[in-house]
Chain A
Amino acid sequence: MERPLTQDIKSDGQPLTIDEYERTGGYQAIQKALRDMAPGEVQEEVKAANLRGRGGAGFSTGAKWSFVPMGADAPRPKYIISNSDEMEPGTFKDRLLMEGNPHQLIEGLVIGAYAVQADFAYIFLRWEYLQSARRLAAAIEEAYGKKYLGKNILDTRYNLEMRLHTSAGRYICGEETALLNALEGKRGIPRSKPPFPQLSGLWGRPAVVNNAETLCNIPHIIKKGAEWYRGLSRSADGGTKIYGASGRVNKPGAWELPMGTSIREILEEHAGGMQEGYSLRGIIPGGASTDFLLADNLDLKMDYDSCQMAGSRLGTGTMIILDDRTCPVGMLLNLMRFFARESCGWCTPCREGLPWLAEILHAIETGEGEEEDLEVLATQCRLLGPGHTFCALAPGAVEPLQSALKYFRDDFVRHIKEKKCPWR
């Protein structure tokens, strides 16, 4: 099984130096792209590879790039940004890639920049990833040293400056338009679309934001081609995916596997199954803002379309496991408190609705729930749906809740009837 993104990551936890990266075939794709391909060709290759955004939304990367205005009349400067603000609960895949092989991200970013003819590349990194920050900063310096960055890269006359920007918290900054505001030094409030960032992104200029894992795929696609990349997958989407599992499994972690690998394989073969004394009750497949799947979904392929048809979302692909000794209400309460705290405060339903849901869940969890509460919870989930709020935070927040009300309703009812949490 090919694992292009992770096979060279060292088991001692040390990052690859630039020399080590080059020895594993790194920075060859840059040469190919900048020397032998036109920007449009790079875009086409990535489109043909069926690479979909790995940040959770799953939008076609090649299509996303194609909206950036090109040509001599395009507004300048143009920007490409790595969304390294990974903060989706249960998600740690980007951290592994950035700590383990920072040059891979840099190379992907440079090729992506070239594809859209960007003048600047930013890495928007969450503050808490201090290790990644140190390693990326060192790697950027190394890359400048070998002329993979800066003026006249590899004598191709292409210029690209790259900067590492570390944030200071706030989950919402992972939303691409909030990220753009944060990068401009403002409060991280999202923007409405249209206009899309490709037209008016950073300081009113074209900007394209891609997830870090997405960008790490780019060098490999260019080096070995779209067809090869598609061949790595077990489904219509191309390539591999870094899947993860956390919770009461024996080996929580992350693994690069073919796109479309089943939940069962990830859980049993790689995560080592449930810990002794615990059994599986539910899975949130793609980070906190996805709907629960149950044990009868274990054979579900973890790709965008399959998850959607099963009533959930692939999201970030890192699963959170609910075991039978953990109270689902408590878990929902924890999730809702997270989302309520991380609301940016811009739009009414998210700002006021999520804390209310958290209060109700807290009441239920502490034995003060009332019968009407379930109806309120269910209605609120519906009302906090997509399009009703300014961004996708609140609709994501209610995904686990609405599925929990469906699958674990009895547990909620018990809390209310018994006036306590049966798990405590």
Chain B
Amino acid sequence: MATIYIDDKPYEVSDGQNLLHACLSLGFDVPYFCWHPAMHSVGACRQCAVKVFRDEKDRRGRIVMSCMTLATHGTRLSVDDREAREFRASNIEWLMTNHPHDCPVCDEGGECHLQDMTVMTGHVYRRFRFRKRTYMNQDLGPFVNHEMNRCIQCYRCVRFYRDYAGGRDFNVFASHNAVYFGRHQDGTLESEFSGNLVEICPTGVFTDKTLKKHYTRKWDMQTAPSVCVHCGVGCNTIAGERYGTLRRIWNRYNGEVNSYFLCDRGRYGYEFVNSKDRLRHPLRRQKVSSAEMTTEQLDRKKIFQTISAFIHPGGANVIGIGSPRASCEANFALWKFVGPENFYSGLGEKDHRLIPMILRILAKGPARAPSIKDVEGCDAVFIIGEDISNTAPRLALALHRSVRQKPMAITQKLHIPYWDDAAVREAIQNEKGPLFVATPAETRLDALAASAFRAAPGELARLGFAVAKAVCEHAPAVTDLTEDMRVRAELIAQALRDSEHPLIISGTALRDEAIIQAAANVAWALCESGKKASLYYVMPECNSMCLGLFGGRTLGEAAEALERKSADTLIVVENDLYRREPPALVNRILGAAKHVIALDHLENATTARADVVLPAATFAEGSGTYISSEGRAQRYYRVFDPDGDIRESWRWMQDIMNARGNLHASSWQNLDDVTTAMGEDIPALKTLPDRFPRADFRVTGQKIPRQPHRYSGRTAMTAHVTVHEPKPSDDSDSALAFSMEGFAGEPPPALITRFWAPGWNSVQSVNKYQDEVGGSLRGGDPGIHLLNDEDVIKPSYFPGVPPPKRMPDRGEVLAVPLYYVFGSEELSVHAPGIAGLIPAPYITLNTLDAQICRFGEGQIAGMSLSGFDLRLPVRIDNSLPPGVVGIPAGLPGLAGIMLPAWGLLCLDDAEREKGT
């Protein structure tokens, strides 16, 4: 700790910080632009000027930039010094010389950091009377709007895009007061983190393009703390609504998970909530002929009559299929109704086996499941079988920090503070800590990696097992290892052993048990060697982990149960079964069931075949719990009351239970009751009711408002329906209110509905919620870590090393799934911006295989896989190993193909006839 003096008063600050960090952490309002708590200092904007004094007698002092000045013991400074204030106001005046002052029409207004800093410095009068420079804007794609005239050249955008996120198609051009931030040519920004520009940019240069289509000021938005549903990382978000539509997603700071950044899928996928394909009313579907089905919209009363007709009293004839994208409470309500024997996880068969295995590995094993923040601190990383840039993008972003850990030793030797960003990067150059990628096809992380290993899943697992053995001799050996793989394994093992915090990443993307086990072996071998090893398994969906805890049976068993008539009614909660298993099996399930009741947000192939469809609330329309890949249970809160008959799945289930005399849910008054019941039945979740804020939580007797105190139009917005002022809806599920009235101060971190502080209207206000800027939220980052709590036992290594790669039968190739951040995930593809970026389906193979099969780029190839007769254009990708082809995973229309799978590849008949 160091003692510094601000206006002659002593303060304790942590060592090694810069003065801006220290002052902001102490609560002083020092303005800044180019400094950022995650990107640190460059000293460009000159806004953070303060005065420092040599000693007590020095009354003159000199102006320094607080972001670039080390807070050493005894530093004397003044924030309020007259000259410093004059300079800061002057700095704003300089920025205002070219600024268009278009606040009334600028999207940033209301959360504009430039506005805030301008007011803070007291600059009010523009003396500049000359022409302002103007720029041409670019079309940067569907997510980020470009309005360069507002630019204050703080360089944050290019520093984030390039230095922090590794993007290379965006830069700063020209010089002097013509510097321009954009692309060499118009075009969609390639980085999947481009959306962060809209929060990084302190002005309205980069703004949310999707918000523009339904623009609303920040002060007019009703917001609630939420969790992203588009992958398993569990980034925290704030979702905003007005007039019944979801308008935008902001980053919600969580120091352990996403900190300041989201990926574009999470930021822009929300539009599925507003989709015209939303189910809003119960539907009754009936088959009139083999080809035709009628659909009738029914009201609640009638639909429950129908449902009651389907379900026997007590519900014994019902089986339930849950979902890894439904909340814990939704799954639990279904589980409670049908009972554990009749609960089916709704996972694909492979996932169904792998996810519980992963849970056991993480819960019982010595390797810890790291948070994203922990990942950033890991200094050696080995990825087996997972293309995390597409399956867990925020995790991939964290690895950019991980590979900097080891090189930071250079900066320590040169006495360069960690926050002197430009100096750090100059000293480190292109040095990177060890990152090893082992995947079938190339990934965007290859550019960061020390080496990339391309192989079929079996070989990837063998490499993993070999690394484990090389780390610790007690691990099982790998026979018939090629020399290349042996050398590689040695290299990777060496790097992992030489690190302080090694990290192994794997996941379910390749649906390969051996890969999962190999990853565990490596981590355990490291632990046995005395290393604090971390193990991160990427879960495909936002609540996959939960299904692992619930257990249940497979979909194959569901088909059997229905076929042997032990049940005749099926309830499917928020799950399109055609995405889980090949159509043959799903058709069996839906065909064998006499009655199918499906709950979901959007129409899909399953709801199309259901007898009753109930409209389920999305994350924005109901509250619940998701468990992320690292085992963090997080609560998301309803943002707004949905229209129509949309309700949370658990409430539908409760009504069904009540209607059929199943009393388990009869005492549930609100979400808390469900969570409590869940904790009683599922031991792993027993801590949740006590750790999540309860619905009756109040601060000085008040609820926490979802609306800012400036929220306007409350009484007018429904005047077209009725002139009577509506009573604000009551939220019995949480301590949040659909109102602007309530506790206006800082709520507990899990209940933060928006970041705002007096004078800090923008996202920079997050500073005020942290004890140390850039650190944890005051009161602790939200989320409950469920794993790492259990007793750690010393597990034995997984012995099942797969044999060397099988020689394929003539013409047979192994098709592996290739994931796309835009396209592979079910819900986000309903957002128009994302839909436009989905690749057209294709099949990719390397040149050699193409030559053997005599394919050319663009020709149509045929392949029969898990019941699909695919006809796809060929693409050549020489990163693929021989005998392996890649097919995009989860694209609309291709979702049911279970990959990896072996199949015969042949030239499409039509192509063959062309005589090529």
Q: Which residues of A pack against B, CB within 8 Å?
A: 170, 187, 191-192, 194-195, 199-200, 203-204, 340-349, 351-353, 355-356, 359, 363, 372, 376, 379, 383, 387-390
A390 to B410, CA, bound (A): 25
Q: Which of B45, B90, B426, B429 contacts A191, CB < 8 Å? A: B426
A341 to B98, CA, bound (A): 16
Given contact pairs A195-B415, A353-B94, A345 touches B175 in the complex (Cβ within 8 A): yes
**Chain B 231-252 residues near chain A, CB threshold 8 A:** none
Q: Is the beta-carbon distance between B416 and A195 smaller than 8 angstroms?
A: yes
Instruction: Show 12 A/B contacts (Cβ-Cβ < 8 Å), sorted by A.
Output: A187-B172, A187-B175, A192-B68, A195-B416, A200-B427, A204-B410, A345-B177, A345-B179, A348-B46, A348-B94, A351-B177, A355-B97
A254 to B461, CA, bound (A): 74
Q: Which residues of B pack against A, CB within 8 Å?
A: 42-47, 49, 62-64, 68, 86-87, 90-91, 94-95, 97-98, 127-128, 130, 152-153, 155, 172, 174-179, 410, 414-416, 420, 422-423, 426-429
Q: Is the beta-carbon distance between B175 and A344 smaller than 8 angstroms?
A: yes
Q: Is the beta-carbon distance between A192 and B414 smaller than 8 angstroms?
A: no
Nearest A residue (CB) for B99:
A352
Q: Is the beta-carbon distance between A352 and B97 smaller than 8 angstroms?
A: yes
Q: Is the beta-carbon distance between B176 and A383 smaller than 8 angstroms?
A: no
Smallest beta-carbon distance B107→chain A, Å:
23
Q: Is the beta-carbon distance between A203 and B177 smaller than 8 angstroms?
A: no
Smallest beta-carbon distance B203→chain A, Å:
13
Given contact pairs A192-B420, A344-B175, A383 touches B90 in the complex (Cβ within 8 A): yes
Q: Is the beta-carbon distance between A372 and B177 smaller than 8 angstroms?
A: no
Which residues of B sit under 8 angstroms from A355, Cβ to Cβ? 97, 176-177
Q: Is the beta-carbon distance between B46 and A204 smaller than 8 angstroms?
A: no
Given contact pairs A340-B177, A342-B176, A344-B175, A349 touches B410 in the complex (Cβ within 8 A): no
Which residues of B sit under 8 angstroms from A363, Cβ to Cβ? 130
Nearest B residue (CB) for A202:
B426
Which residues of B sit under 8 angstroms from A195, Cβ to Cβ? 414-416, 420, 423, 427
Which residues of A sit under 8 angstroms from B42, Cβ to Cβ? 192
A344 to B178, CA, bound (A): 10
Given contact pairs A170-B175, A199-B414, A352 touches B94 in the complex (Cβ within 8 A): yes
A194 to B47, CA, bound (A): 20
Which residues of A sit under 8 angstroms from B153, Cβ to Cβ? 345, 348, 351
Nearest B residue (CB) for A180:
B426
Q: Which of A191, A203, A344, A388 contacts B49, CB < 8 Å? A: A388
A3 to B604, CA, bound (A): 90
Which residues of A sit under 8 angstroms from B127, Cβ to Cβ? 372, 376
A347 to B420, CA, bound (A): 16
A200 to B42, CA, bound (A): 16
Nearest B residue (CB) for A355:
B177
Q: Which of B128, B176, B423 contacts A343, CB < 8 Å? A: B176
Q: Which of A203, A340, A353 contacts B429, CB < 8 Å? A: A203
Q: Is the beta-carbon distance between A348 and B62 smaller than 8 angstroms?
A: no
Q: Is the beta-carbon distance between A359 and B130 smaller than 8 angstroms?
A: yes
A347 to B33, CA, bound (A): 11
Smallest beta-carbon distance B85→chain A, Å:
12
Which residues of A sit under 8 angstroms from B87, Cβ to Cβ? 383, 388
Nearest B residue (CB) for A201:
B426
Which residues of B sit under 8 angstroms from A340, Cβ to Cβ? 176-177
Which residues of B sit under 8 angstroms from A194, Cβ to Cβ? 415-416, 423
Which residues of B sit under 8 angstroms from A348, Cβ to Cβ? 44-47, 91, 94-95, 152-153
A356 to B90, CA, bound (A): 12
Q: Which of B62, B86, B179, B410 contacts A351, CB < 8 Å? A: B179
A203 to B193, CA, bound (A): 28
Which residues of A sit under 8 angstroms from B46, Cβ to Cβ? 347-349, 388-390
Q: Is the beta-carbon distance between A200 and B45 smaller than 8 angstroms?
A: no
Q: Is the beta-carbon distance between B422 and A191 smaller than 8 angstroms?
A: yes
Not counting A194-B423, A195-B423, a sample of 19 additional A-B residue pairs whose C-beta atoms are within 8 angstroms of each other reads A187-B172, A191-B426, A192-B68, A192-B423, A194-B416, A195-B414, A195-B427, A199-B414, A340-B177, A348-B91, A348-B94, A349-B91, A351-B177, A359-B128, A359-B130, A363-B130, A387-B64, A388-B46, A390-B43
Q: Is the beta-carbon distance between A387 and B63 smaller than 8 angstroms?
A: yes
Q: Which of B90, B94, B428 contacts A204, CB < 8 Å? A: B428
Given contact pairs A204-B429, A388-B49, A352 touches B175 in the complex (Cβ within 8 A): no
Which residues of A sit under 8 angstroms from B94, Cβ to Cβ? 348-349, 351-353, 356
Which residues of A sit under 8 angstroms from B178, Cβ to Cβ? 345
Smallest beta-carbon distance A378→chain B, Å:
13
A88 to B856, CA, bound (A): 60
A356 to B46, CA, bound (A): 17
Q: Is the beta-carbon distance between A352 and B177 smaller than 8 angstroms?
A: yes
Residue of A203, A376, A383 with most chain B CB atoms under a 10 A cut-off? A383
